[in-house]
Amino acid sequence: RLSDGPPETLRQLPFYLPTVPLALAPLAAGGAHTAAVLWSALQVITLAYALARLRAWLRTDATDPGAGAGAFWLLILISLPAIYEATKFNQVTWFTLALLIAGQAALERGKDAAAGCWLAAAAVLKLLPALLFVWLLFERRWRAAATMAVAIVAFMVTPPVIAFGPDRAWQYHLQWWSFNVREGAAERWLSTEHWGDNSEHFIDRRNQSIAAICGRVFWKDHAHRVAWQPLNLTQRQVLRLANAISAALGVLLLAASWPGRGERRPADAPDIPDTPNVSTANSRAWPARGRFALYLIALQVLAPLARMYYLAWTLPALAILAARSASIAPVRTRTAARLGVLLWCVGMLAWPVREMRE
């Protein structure tokens, strides 16, 4: 809403930065039905773009075109539950994934400024992708990292200042900060008292974040605690445990995503050089693609509100597993990739059970 009024009446759950509703507002200019059509079209377009980019990964990696096609259909088959859930919930999941993949694609082509802008747009839209800034630093893409930082500030500040004026824009950002970052915000994911009506889905089984799971398993006063709790912790102890687990996983992420000595490359050089052997050149990009996919998994693992439809962000990782399963890679690599596909499929066996997928 762009009307005048006290900020607290206009943004009841300010998960998103003020720029996001401004970006979405034009969709409603033609009425509810037009907005629904446009929104659905954008969902389809962004999903199609993400799948097309991943298909390009698989097609250029395979020496046999048939193997590339087989890997793509394997990717579609094993990711159907994630695709279905993300589409059903109709959130900004596909928009975020498309922006992230566009940033990764630009980076491979050596277009670091464009990559920084795409990744900044994803970060402003969904916040969690700001973690990709660390990825850029580890990849030594200084220009892309600098562009991303500047673009995030520009995307955050400029549209609200233009639309609302400096004072209201500042108030909206303060409200966002108070709701999402300030001291005490973490407790929101453990208790319904902060949410009001229709709040159960923030803290029950539908929130699979580390903090929410720890609360249900270890806090005896949790509204949705499990039947058997191995520990009896206070709320503050639960939060400390969740923070410790998140920190440990963050350290593992940094260690796993650190490029090996043989993979370090001149800063701001394209991952895919100008070479007539596209398959060979493309194969050089796979280590960086793997680290990119690892960060997208981290977005889900470290999220304070983790939903089933966030699994859509695992598609790049699944594409890598599918590619390695169908390629003529060393036996150990193929075996590990196939075990990864098998593990994912075993996990997806729980998807038909409503209590497991929601």
Residue-averaged pLDDT of the chain: 82
Which residue's structure tokens are 């598609």?
315
How many percent of the chain have pLDDT more than 90? 34
User: What is the pTM (predicted TM-score) of this model?
Assistant: 0.86
Dist. CA 313–CA 38, nearest whole Å: 23
Q: Which is higher by pLDDT, 5 or 70?
A: 70
What pLDDT digit, counting tens, does each position of 307-332 carry?
Answer: 888 989 999 998 888 887 776 667 88
| Neighbour-count burial of 236, counting CB atoms closer than 10 A to its CB (0-12 exposed, 13-18 middle, 19+ buried) | exposed
Mean predicted confidence (pLDDT) in 61-78 = 70
For position 280, what pLDDT does the model report?
45
Dist. CA 72–CA 68, nearest whole Å: 6
Q: Which is higher by pLDDT, 138 or 194?
A: 138
Q: Which is higher by pLDDT, 72 or 244?
A: 244
Least confident of 78-92, 141-155, 180-194: 180-194
DSSP 40-60: HHHHHHHHHHHHHHHHHHHHH
For position 2, what pLDDT does the model report?
42
pLDDT at residue 6 tops 70: no
For position 220, what pLDDT does the model report?
83
For position 66, what pLDDT does the model report?
58
